[in-house]
Amino acid sequence: MHIYYKDFRPQIKLRSKNIYGEMAVFMLKKIMAVFICCALIVPIVAMADTAEILSENITTEYLSDDLLEPYSDASVEAETVLELNAKSAVLMEKSTGRVLYEQNPHERLAPASITKIMSLLLIMEAIESGKITIDDTVSASEHAVSMGGSQIWLEVGETMTVNELLKAVAIGSANDATVALGEYIAGSEEAFVNMMNERAAQLGMENTHFVNCTGLDAENHYTSAYDVALMSRELIGHDLIKQYSSVWMDSLREGETQLVNTNKLVRFYEGATGLKTGTTDEAGYCLSATAERDDMELIAVVMGSDSGNNRFNSARKLLDHGFANYVKVSPAVDMSEIPAVKVTGGVESLVPINEVNAEPVLITKGKEKSITAKIELPESIEAPISAGQQIGTVSIMQDDEMLAQIPITAAKDIGKMTFTNALWLLIQKLFGV
C-alpha cells in the first residue's frame, strides 16, 4: 500500500507517476507469453469471473436581552475551560457529529422537557414517511388532557390539526399536545414511548431510557447531554422542525391561546434555530440550543442549571465558543495528479478513477496550514474490477486527527484477461485490426 502526503494550501495536490510506457511493454510481453503457452497446450479458458413545570408554562416570564451575557466574537483558545452553570454539557457540530466541548457528557440525568426532542423526531419521521400529515385532525383523549405542567389546556374530545399541536409542542412545550400526537401515531403513550426507546437505541444513545413522552419527572427516566446532542442532531436534519422551533410567538384557537417560545435564544441569539427547553424540580433547568452561521450548525446541550438565565447563558457560551474557534472548509482534490493504479490480469492496464469529491470538513480556525491529505492506493489491483469498487482512500488530516475519509473508486468495469481476450488483443496488435 502506497501512502502519499501533501499540504493543503489551498487545494490538495496529489503525487502522480508516469507509468503508461512501462505498462504498454508489460502488457505486450504478457500477451506474447500467454499466446505461446496457449499454442503449446491449447487450453480451454472459462470466463472468470418536559415536561416544563408551571414555573415555565406557556405564559412563562420574558427574558430581556440585557439579562443575557453579551456575545463576544473574539476568538479564544479551543482548549479553554468554559465556566458553565450546568451539571453536564456538550457542544456538537451537526454535519460531522464532532464534539467540540464537553463536561460530564455521559452522566445520566433527568431531562425534563428536552425529552420532547425524541417525541418531535418521531413526529417528523411519521410526517416524512407519509404515516401522518400536518393537516390531519387529532382528537384529545382523557389521558392527554390529564397531563400537568406546561399545556394548552386541551379538553377531552377537542380536535386540532397536527400542525397546531406541533406548534404547541415545539413553541410552548405543551405536555397535553405531545401526548395527543404520540397517541395519534402509536395508539397509546406507552406504545409511543416504546418507539422512543427503540429509536434511541438505533441512534446509539447508551445512557437514555424514557418512561414518558413529555419529560415529567419519573423513576428510571433519564438521558445524558451527549445523548441529547445525538437526538437533537437527528431532529434538525428535518428542516420542517425549524419552521416551528425557530418561532418566537404564535397563537392557537384563532388567537385565543398565545404561544411564547420557552427558548429565549430564539429571540436574542443570532442564527438561533431552536431547539428545546426543559424544567422540572428533579432536572433543574435544561436546554438543547441550535444555531447556524456561515453554513456551520451547532448544538449546545446544557443540563442541570440552577436557573433559567444560567442555562441560556451557558448555552450561549458554548455556541460562542464554537463559532469563534471553528470553521468549515471544502478541500479541493486535483484529479489530474492522483497516481494511476496498475491492473494485473485484466483486459486493460490501468484503472480510471471516479471524481473524488470532498465534503466540507470542520477545522480549528487559524490552523488551515496544518491540513494535509493522505492518499492510500495499492501499487496494483487484480482484475476483475467493478465500476464503483473502492480501490483506495483520501484522508483529510489536521495534524494527527482524521477529519474525513473519502473513497477512491473505479470509474468502469475491467474484465479479467482470458485466452480469447489475449488472442484478440494480439491479433489487433500484429495486424492493426
Q: Which three cell numbers stand for residue 201?
A: 437505541
CA–CA distance, 196 with 198 (Å, rounded to integer) = 5
| Closest of 321, 329, 351, 277 to residue 113, by C-alpha | 277
CA distances 54 to 58, 61, 323, 368, 417, Å, are 8, 11, 34, 49, 76
Angle at 266 between CA 155 and CA 122, to 5 degrees: 55
**DSSP conformational letter for 383:** S
CA–CA distance, 173 with 120 (Å, rounded to integer) = 11
Residue 111, phi then psi, degrees to nearest 5: -95, -10
Active site residue 288: no
- Given 116, 276, 317, 342, the catalytic residue: 116
CA–CA distance, 322 with 102 (Å, rounded to integer) = 12
Active site residue 245: no
- Given 173, 232, 246, 288, the catalytic residue: 173
* Residue 25, C-beta contacts closer than 8 angstroms, at least 6 positions apart: none
CB 90 within 8 A of CB 226: yes
Q: Which three cell numbers stand for residue 209?
A: 431510557
- Given 87, 88, 113, 150, the catalytic residue: 113
Q: What is the DSSP string of 33-70?
A: HHHHHHHHH----PPP-----GGGSTTPPP--GGGSPP
Active site residue 113: yes
CA–CA distance, 258 with 58 (Å, rounded to integer) = 8
CA–CA distance, 232 with 120 (Å, rounded to integer) = 10
**Residues 183-192 as b or e (16 or more Cβ within 10 Å = b):** bbbbeebeeb
CA–CA distance, 333 with 416 (Å, rounded to integer) = 30
> Can you tell me which residue has the cell 400537568?
148
* Residue 40, C-beta contacts closer than 8 angstroms, at least 6 positions apart: none
Active site positions, annotated: 113, 116, 173
